[in-house]
Each structure stands twice: as structure tokens, then as C-alpha cells.
Structure 1
């Protein structure tokens, strides 16, 4: 099997406070074979000298929407399936170029897109897919506009389009069936809407999502398949309901309070803040077609999201990295590092996108660190992200090499 030897790299271990001294790292096939602070003697297929550069684990984004090719999600539902699919491949390639070698899709992408990447048909990060998110009628995933009535004998328009990130299901029996169908179609985990949201047309941010009985039913179905549920939730009360019902990760969580954060820590729940999306929506949402009713909701959650990081830190809740960007704003993915670093510091921001991401995905020892036996997801970086995250920003300008599973995806290093 092919081998690559990286020599003289300043090694970034997210569990350490600063870079380690020069290390050699041997990659064999798709895994890391050996890591040493002494020179390795190996007859490798290629040897790459990284003197003066940093070698760090590939990044993990726990909240992307690979098929969100437009900011106006209700409009996107009606786009041709092939057009959405082809445009999504460009978004995925951009994520990989920015150093995100693993992403969890939080609604929209299914098994087929994951299969296309794994088979080499298109380039992209390692995908953990949720299929279509589950939403109650009138919830955050219901993109139907207000109308005189909803015909009960017509199929839900959210259930048949590639551009639909969610599907509508109601009642304990209905959500059980919907969860089972998404799992049967290849979902790695299940996403639900546990509160209102910003990008949807008819639900206030403070609205509850599913009833507790419905949430418990979905959690039970996921648990029965040895996986878990992630929940879109903003308010403290909505977060607490979801966590009490067994939800494992809370997405966004902007309006949390300290008692609720402490409940999350007690239950071992994670949070995945997505602060960059509110900055993007505020700055360019209207320009790219975000409906006025959604633009009006942004201010309610944007500033609270910044304060929430300090609340989660005080309560001891583990924070994963998420971006949640839509359409052309997905180019801003790495700016989440900048926003977080200003509040919790650069090292904590890097930890969120490496070891905590690996924990959430159940991939400890395989992702998020440079250790023997881990997947060879490696970035060469010009700079020290533990001190300044600027080298992770942009479109990979300071990341000259990206390796995923032992294969070099991008290489701008000078020979």
C-alpha cells in the first residue's frame, strides 16, 4: 500500500497547549502508522519535508448543509434535482479545500451523496449524513408558505425534492415511521426540529417543535439503530425539553441560560453553536434572497449566540464546531474560528473542530488527532492555529496541503 513520510513537522496536538517540536509522521494506506519525535527511517513512496510548517489533524464541521445551494430554502425546494446535486458537489469541494476533511450534514444530504464521495465520483469531505431532518407541521422544516388551507390528501412538497432539507411528520406513529425511513435510506444520525428558527417562513424562534412524546419516540428509534438524535433548538426551554428526552447534541442553542446549560452538562449533551451563519445572514442574507420575515428574526439570536459561548463554558458543556451556512455564504465557513477565538480563545476553537467533533461522531482515536491508528486526515498549515486562527481562515490560502484518508487532495507546497 502507498506510504507517505512527513518529516520535520511542528506537530499540533489539540490536547496540548502549544505545538510540539519537530516530528516525523508515517502514513501507510489510509491510516497513520507511526508518529515520532526522532527521525523515522522508512522506504516511503513520497517524502515531504515540512520544516517550518505545522502538521495538524483535519478539521471537523458538525453542522453543514451540503445541498443548501441557495439562501432561500423555500425557493430551493422547487429547483431541479440534478441542478441541486451538481451545485452541492462544488460546495463540498470548497469545504475540503478549507481543510474540513470530515463534516456532519445536519439535514438534506443522503446516502447517495456520501456514496459518490466514497467511490471517488466527486471530491469532498468524509460525510456523516442525517438524511432529511424531521419537522412537525408549521415547524422549522416546513417550507410551505401560509395559505388558506393545507390539503390533507396531497403529498407533502417537502418530501420529494433533493433541495428539501427536511420532511414533515406528525404524531408518535408518524415520526417513528419517518425516522425508520431515514435510517433505512442510510442516515448516520437523525436530525429533528425542537424549536422555531430563522430561515423558515411561519414559525417564531421561540415556538416549540415536537411534543416530548414525539421526541422520545424518535430518540428510541435512533437508539435502536445504535445512533443518536441532534436537535435544532434555540430557547432554554426548548433545549431542556430535548435534552430531557435523550437528544445528544443541541444545534445553535443561542438563547440558553445557565441552569439549562448545567442540565446539558449533567446529561452529557453537546452543543454545536453556529455563530458565523447569523453574521452572514445579517450582512448578505437579503442580497442573496433571504425572505424579509427571516431577516427580521436574525437580531433576536445573533448577539445571544455570542453570549451563549461563555454560558456553555461556565457550565462545562462540550462545544463542537458548526457553521450552518447556506448558498454562496458557505465560503465563510472558516470564519467561525475567528468569532469563537475572540471569546473562548484559539486553542478552544481548534479543539471544538477536532477532538470534540470526533467524540460527537463516535470516532475517538480515528479522527481529530495525529496518533497511530487514526485516519490519515492531515493538514499542512503555515502558522500556529493554537495561538492565532488567522491561518485557518479564507479558502485555504494558508493550508498548502490537505490529505484525507492517506490521499493528498490538494498540494500547493513548493517542490
Structure 2
């Protein structure tokens, strides 16, 4: 029998409106919102949740997480026992949901099995959109092998995939085409590529370019053939511009973008997914938590440019999704991304990045990001007004007394 719920006496946050709407009721049947009304609703035998004048808002969307990144040293993570990595990821998933993130896009590492575990109720966590393993060239951001006088195979067991591996190495047009097809066959919702160097990888400078243009074209074509898209790790203007010209849909990080490249992104309808909080975390506690010294040294080069990139994206009209990219013990800092962005953007703009823009990126407009009839019943009750200050969304959900995902109350402190 379909469960019916009424959330009554709430102030409604619609990310498309500048202010909260006074006193609304929401009717929820099963996993969907059936009615949103500024008049009292009454349905026989419905369970009633009294919001008590609190804010009701859509569940949050984080477009860049790594749920299997249970520690900062990614090279060591890839060789950890598979069961250990899996079990250590469960509190990470639960913590995200408790902080109000009812949907996340995993940007490398989580497989379809994690999605199955959450959907079946075996694990408690957000709705997952998984990328499988990210694709990297030899010596790229996804190649965790250190320098030596010989190169070990990327995977000593070519038919195996380590749970702790966030990426896989593939070189050449035919190899990357096959790798993309394999990740899609194994259940990836979208494909992640490394289009520039990075911080957490040992042998690639941040300003290095990733795949060749022909390789990127092949990967984009394979994603399009399955009606999905490619997201690209990229920092520099050259890497970003090349990726979006070749059809990449979202640029992850993008710290070193310039005005000309931001304008190109807007022209190509590409999205940016900045991840400012991870650089704060890596700078403040990376070394103590096992981040290799070479990676610690790279952090400074991109950290300072993060806030400036928000200004450039905004000025060019680039839509920005919400992302965090945290690793290991730093996952607890997920909501600090709101605080950092609020130094440049208005609270409404920050909230939009984690709701309606996230829904656009995922192809879930009308289903996620707003509380409207026909949408999935993902909602939060919040003590405070996030459109005036994002502070009520910080921490570990202390000011979010209720989290509902798909019509199921996951957490309640009412």
C-alpha cells in the first residue's frame, strides 16, 4: 500500500524565487510529491509531519564526490583489501545523507554495486549517479604509479577492478573507446576523464594536458551513443577550452580558468563544478592524513585561484554546480563548500548550485532540485533561512532536523 504523508506548516524554499514562501503544505504519495499548497491539506489516514514553521527545501545535490575515497593517499587506497574499502565507505555515504545531500554524483570510484546497495536499502546513503572508474592516460591524473626506471602494468590483474581504484589507465583511441564502453556496460551513469594534470597524482604537473583531441572525441562519442555525457577534470584555460570544444559537458574544478575560457564555456553550454573545500582540506590537514609531499606542494598553486574562478564563471554566465571532491577524513567538511562560495556568491546562488543546477546536470529537471508536483520527495526541514545565510546548512546536519529521500524519512530529530 502506498504511504501518504503531509508535511504541514512549513516555509517553502523554491530555488527559483528570491524569498521563502510563507506557510505551505506538501502532500507526498509514495516517493513523489503530489501537491504543494499554500492552503492546509487534509487526507484521510495520512501521516502528518508538522514542520512547526521551519524551512522546507529540496534535498541537496553534490556533483563531485568520491564515496570510496576512504583516505587521502589514493595510491595506498587502490591496494587496500576490497572489503575494508567497501565497509569504510558506508559511514561516508550515511554522513552525506545526514548533512542533507540526498543525491550525489560520484566522480570516480563508485561502481553500480554501490548504487544497488543504496537503492535496495542495504546501505543508507544518497541517491547515486556513478561514473565507475575515471579514464586517464599514462602519466595522467588517474595514474597513481610513482616514478621509476620501469613502468609496472596499471593493473597486475587485468581482469580485476580494485574497489579502491578511482581511475583506470587507457591510451589510444581504440583503447579509450573500449574503456568507456566497459564502464558504461558495468553501469556508469556518465563518464569521467582526466583532461589535465592534478594535485593528488604523482607524476603530472597541474598544467599538463590530458588526453589527445582524438581520444576525447572518441570518449564523448561513446557517451553520447548511450545518451549520456562526459565530465572532465581540468584546471587550466588550455585544458578547459579543449575539453568543452570537443563536447565535454561539465568541467570539474576549473580553478585556473580565465575570462576568455569562461566565455567559451558559456557559449558551449558547459557547466562548471568548482570544488573549493577540498583545497582547504588538503592544505590544512593533507600532510597529517597521508597525502604525499608532492601532492601537498601542488595544492597552493590552485587553492588561491578558487574564489577568483567563481567570479569569472559568474561574470561569463557559466552555470555552476555544487561539488566538494573530499577524501578520507575530510568528508566531514562537505558542507563547508557553502561557506566558501558565500564569500563570492549570494546565498540564493549557492543554493541554486546545489539544487536546480545540479538537477540540470543530471538530466533530472522536474524530478530533483525543486519541491513541485511530480518531483521525487527529497526534502529537508531546516532551522533557519538558507536564502539569508547558508550557516544553517553547515556542520553535520545539526540544524537539519529532518531528511527525507524518495518519501522515506531517513533522519528525524523533530
| TM-score of the two chains, using structure 2 as the length reference | 0.98
Q: Helix, strand or coil for the counterpart of 1:47?
A: strand
Mapped pair 1:299 → 2:300:
yes
| Partner residue, 2:62 | 61
Alignment of 1:386-401 (within 5 A): 386-401=387-402
Alignment of 1:8-407 (within 5 A): 8-151=9-152, 155=156, 160-407=161-408
CA RMSD of aligned residues (A): 1.2
Once the two structures are TM-superposed, the CA of residue 49 in structure 1 deviates from its matched residue by 1.3
CA shift digits 1:180-227 (9 cap, x unpaired): 000000000000000000011111000000000000000000000000
Moved more, 149-158 or 360-369: 149-158
Q: Helix, strand or coil for the counterpart of 1:23?
A: strand
Between the aligned partners of 1:37 and 1:99, the Cα distance in structure 2 is: 24
Between the aligned partners of 1:196 and 1:177, the Cα distance in structure 2 is: 23
Once the two structures are TM-superposed, the CA of residue 155 in structure 1 deviates from its matched residue by 3.6
Contact 2:255–2:306 under 8 Å retained in 1: yes
Q: Helix, strand or coil for the counterpart of 1:338?
A: helix
Contact 1:159–1:167 under 8 Å retained in 2: no
Once the two structures are TM-superposed, the CA of residue 157 in structure 1 deviates from its matched residue by 7.9
Unaligned runs of 5+ in 1: none
Once the two structures are TM-superposed, the CA of residue 103 in structure 1 deviates from its matched residue by 0.1
Between the aligned partners of 1:13 and 1:153, the Cα distance in structure 2 is: 47
Once the two structures are TM-superposed, the CA of residue 342 in structure 1 deviates from its matched residue by 1.3
Contact 1:136–1:168 under 8 Å retained in 2: yes
Between the aligned partners of 2:191 and 2:133, the Cα distance in structure 1 is: 8
Between the aligned partners of 1:408 and 1:69, the Cα distance in structure 2 is: 27
CA shift digits 1:15-66 (9 cap, x unpaired): 0001001000011000001000011121243111112200000000000000
Between the aligned partners of 2:264 and 2:179, the Cα distance in structure 1 is: 29
Q: Helix, strand or coil for the counterpart of 2:373?
A: coil
Between the aligned partners of 1:240 and 1:167, the Cα distance in structure 2 is: 24
- CA distance change for structure 1 residues 313 and 17 in 2, over 3 Å: closer, same or farther? same
CA shift digits 1:338-385 (9 cap, x unpaired): 000111111100000000000000000000000000000010000000
Contact 1:252–1:271 under 8 Å retained in 2: yes
- CA distance change for structure 1 residues 24 and 176 in 2, over 3 Å: closer, same or farther? same
Q: Helix, strand or coil for the counterpart of 1:351?
A: helix
Contact 1:26–1:32 under 8 Å retained in 2: yes
Contact 2:137–2:210 under 8 Å retained in 1: yes
- CA distance change for structure 1 residues 281 and 158 in 2, over 3 Å: closer, same or farther? farther
Once the two structures are TM-superposed, the CA of residue 153 in structure 1 deviates from its matched residue by 10
Unaligned runs of 5+ in 2: none
- CA distance change for structure 1 residues 239 and 384 in 2, over 3 Å: closer, same or farther? same
Between the aligned partners of 1:41 and 1:89, the Cα distance in structure 2 is: 38
Which aligned segments of 4 or more residues in structure 1 are displaced greater than 3 angstroms? 151-159
| Partner residue, 2:410 | 409
Q: Helix, strand or coil for the counterpart of 1:144?
A: coil
